[in-house]
A and B are shown apart, each in its own frame.
Chain A
């Protein structure tokens, strides 16, 4: 047997084109006669539009047209996650504002011009008269009586009120518990900051009535669905192509006005239309993440049994409800409230509030980081209250190992887990038992070390379509894939998902190579074009490897079965006598008598000599609807040192033990964990949107908004355990978001541990040096 390609850390096949600049992104695609679109955006967060005068803009050389909200006859941009039993309001989101703007950056008019500079000049020349209205940015404030109202039909700006759990039972637990801890936690807004800003270009053929839309999408089939609905074109006349997409982190899931507007303008004007956002626009109008104000409590017994958690969450939705927004602080959040612990009582009331800010939606982790954070924060607070070591408290409460299903109080059925194993492994790597004495010695020297621990599990690999329907997601969550083998034995794998930086072309090729024995170099994974690829719901929620990967594994297995039968026929042997060995179909006991997978593929295409009833060709397709979510888990530990003179935080060590089941490519798994940890640590330490009271974005450029840099981080110390998912064809779980989910509370708790001698109880994130220093001063006084 040769070395299995499954489990091998081969280099990412995507990288040569990415690092040599040969990758072709949306903005790289040039069409003759293309018009450039610039959007006139509101400088006010809340205002009535009194009048628009575009005559000066229209008179400029090179300007083809200016359109306002009154001109554009598109249906509203839909919200596609209609969570049930929440009195959900879905106020209209017009592609261009009509009568009123609701956040800074809301589109008011579009300019179409022959070059990008002229488009921008003309956009600046469009005169818009506004009548300013009172502004509210804070989601809790926006939900109060008397707050400025964004929509007439959304009372108190409350778009939904979602409740999970039995309030009376929860109250009973909290009323009788020995210990209740509580905190107000602010999950600040974050900017997804994908390396490639968003871009869209549309071309319309009036003779065939076909629209082609190139755009930065994580889910081109969903984009096709929505663009079809918004424009009124038949879905089979809309082709959406996501060429190379430079990262998304969730921000390229939604359908935005801009994609609809280039489509509309291309149809209207009969010329291709392109729009590419600037980084400033990206920060202003592309969705933000998080924005929760959480009032959280945890109940426990005096001897350290966790009894329950409850929370009221005000989730800022921004000026409009983005595509998946209602599902994020509800389904993807509350259902995670048990975490990895034996805890029987959960209650969550999540209030989605419209605010004069950029719409929020899924950002890496989407709801689950906010849940994990509040749990881990509460666990540390319980430990402090009952004077128990935080590791010991977690150890006491972790769910014991299980292999096939564990139902928790939120009604989820975790697939498999061995939380104690990952936990003890992480503590071992960290040298936890020695740390406390090092910490004490350092404190004696005036150095402030701290340690933070997060034990987590999360729900990903979204998900069973039946569940999607039950929770109001307006789509399925299955994936489909075709494995197509050419006559010369080369593989094209066509998938409906749309990877955009994850390395899935490599890992998915490894799955096929492992199932069928093709060299991985002979396998191309094709994605991102609704005409070329079969239907799929897209790449997000750590679902492409588990869901698409399962479809590919099963399609490959169908091909293998066909190959076995054909090989037996060609070698005049009984099918039962054919053994598969690394790409060869061998007659049992006769090792020289075999057909390679390539031989079989050729013969299947030639079809000169097929068994009775077998169709020609060598291609199989598979739809895969997962029977359950997958639940990766692990334990992360951070060690920090705080400079009490400046408040500066040094992350000295970061240990991550993650279990995503069998690892197809350990290097790519490590890469996902590295990137996720960096983004999560950044939420704790440096990233955070700041709006002023007028709704102006103060962190509107990379000079102000601190994305993390490599020099903030030590070398990560990674470990793993391997617990296969029992329901998955190859046992794998997703790993795209675990780092983000686990790392924010890990570092936060570590900093508070370091500051314990000062009596600091909490610091709003991001814990910048200025805030840490101020907290030390305030606590000390």
Chain B
């Protein structure tokens, strides 16, 4: 594990980070997405700008909705009472990333910047209507998670831009869950399904559904949502939603030799049902 040569600089502030970053540079936070590919020499940035010690990028605040700083670790999010009460699915997803050592170092901002299609948090962020907050030399902007994830390892992020944090609506009156079928080796999602349900008595008033792992990016699933909304989440509705979710992800499917697209597509249906049942409790 011998990476290519690179320069390392530590930024003390967001402004300094944006000043330091060059054309061939990468921001370094927890390093758990970037360093593995550097160690395999699949990526060879000439410059790393370490943003891991910028205090303003780190932490969770609950003020109406949730604000999560970009360098907040998966472990911190998984353990946060605010996240557990306001978006339980995100706490669950962050608690399923990698192993404990990875969660202790890896950050939510690094995770979504890397945009691994099989990563867990993006699926929840898309389902739960999160906003990604971005800062660049020309100022700040926000983009919906659904639009942020563009394709396989591709995001809306421009060169030199930095993710500063994530905003989530208060979802404490929703019932949400994230369920995944982990790859037995990597523990990334072969398929991961996030659902967020607004219940009106026994009836599902609104459903938000996203699928990752089986797809090149986290995909919002309107067909499955429509099949669930207005139902009592009975078997008929669940089966209909499972069929719809397979159609929703059709154009975005991804697979490999061991777990082909067709299998992942079928599993999205199976795991959608499991996710709904987990959310509905």
Interface residues of A (CB under 8 A from B): 116-117, 120-121, 124, 278-280, 645-646, 648, 686, 690, 692, 698, 701-707, 709, 712, 768-770, 773-774
Contact = CB atoms under 8 A, between A and B. Distances in A.
Given A646-B270, A698-B257, A707 B185 contact: yes
Interface stretch (B81-89, B139-147, B217-225, B259-267): B259-267
A51 to B, nearest CB: 23
Contacts of A690: 257-258
Nearest to A768: B258
B109 to A, nearest CB: 22
Given A690-B258, A770-B263, A703 B186 contact: yes
B40 interface: yes
Interface of B: 1-5, 40-41, 181, 183-186, 188, 256-260, 263, 266-267, 270
B1 A702 contact: no
Among the interface residues A279, A645, A705, which one has the most CB atoms of the partner chain B within 10 A? A645
Given A702-B186, A769-B263, 5 more contacts: A116-B2, A702-B185, A704-B185, A706-B184, A768-B184
A120 B2 contact: yes
Given A120-B2, A121-B5, A774-B263, A705 B185 contact: yes
A280 B185 contact: no
B188 to A, nearest CB: 8
Interface centre among B258, B263, B266 (most CB of A within 10 A): B258
Contacts of B41: 120, 124
A770 B259 contact: yes
Contacts of B259: 768, 770
A676 B227 CA distance: 49
Contacts of B5: 117, 121
25 contacts: A120-B2, A121-B5, A278-B1, A278-B2, A279-B1, A280-B40, A645-B270, A646-B181, A646-B267, A648-B181, A686-B184, A702-B185, A702-B186, A703-B183, A704-B186, A704-B258, A705-B185, A706-B183, A706-B185, A707-B185, A709-B184, A768-B259, A770-B259, A770-B263, A774-B263
A773 B266 CA distance: 10
B40 to A, nearest CB: 7
A646 B271 CA distance: 9
Contacts of B40: 280, 701
A116 B40 CA distance: 14
Given A121-B4, A121-B5, A278-B1, A703 B185 contact: yes
A770 B2 CA distance: 35
A703 to B, nearest CB: 4
Q: Which 9 A-B pairs have the closest CB atoms?
A: A706-B185, A703-B186, A120-B2, A770-B263, A706-B184, A770-B259, A645-B270, A686-B184, A117-B2
A768 B188 CA distance: 16
A701 B185 CA distance: 9
A278 B39 CA distance: 10
A645 B263 CA distance: 11
A686 B188 CA distance: 16
A154 to B, nearest CB: 30
A770 B184 CA distance: 12
Contacts of A117: 2-3, 5
A646 B186 CA distance: 18
Nearest to B255: A770
Contacts of B185: 686, 702-707
Contacts of B256: 698
Contacts of B181: 646, 648, 769
Contacts of A773: 263, 266
A278 B5 CA distance: 18
Nearest to B256: A698
Contacts of A769: 181, 263
A704 B259 CA distance: 11
Contacts of A645: 270
Nearest to B188: A703
Contacts of A702: 185-186
A690 B260 CA distance: 14
Contacts of B266: 773
Contacts of B186: 702-704
Contacts of A704: 185-186, 258
A66 B256 CA distance: 38
Nearest to A702: B185
A120 B256 CA distance: 30
Interface centre among B40, B183, B184, B188 (most CB of A within 10 A): B184
A705 B181 CA distance: 17
A702 B186 CA distance: 7
B181 to A, nearest CB: 7
Nearest to B39: A278
Nearest to A648: B181
A692 B257 CA distance: 9
A116 to B, nearest CB: 6
A137 to B, nearest CB: 13
A626 B176 CA distance: 66
A111 to B, nearest CB: 12
Contacts of B257: 690, 692, 698
Nearest to B2: A120
Contacts of A692: 257
A770 to B, nearest CB: 4
Contacts of A124: 41
Contacts of A712: 184
A705 B186 CA distance: 8
A367 to B, nearest CB: 27
Contacts of A120: 2, 41
A54 to B, nearest CB: 19
A769 B4 CA distance: 38
A692 B256 CA distance: 12
Nearest to B1: A278
A773 B262 CA distance: 11
Nearest to B271: A646
Contacts of B260: 770
Of residues A698, A701, A769, which shows the largest number of chain B Cβ atoms within 10 Å of its Cβ? A769
Contacts of B188: 703
Nearest to A701: B40
A120 B188 CA distance: 30
A773 B271 CA distance: 14
Nearest to B44: A124
Nearest to B260: A770
A589 to B, nearest CB: 66
Contacts of A278: 1-2
A647 to B, nearest CB: 8
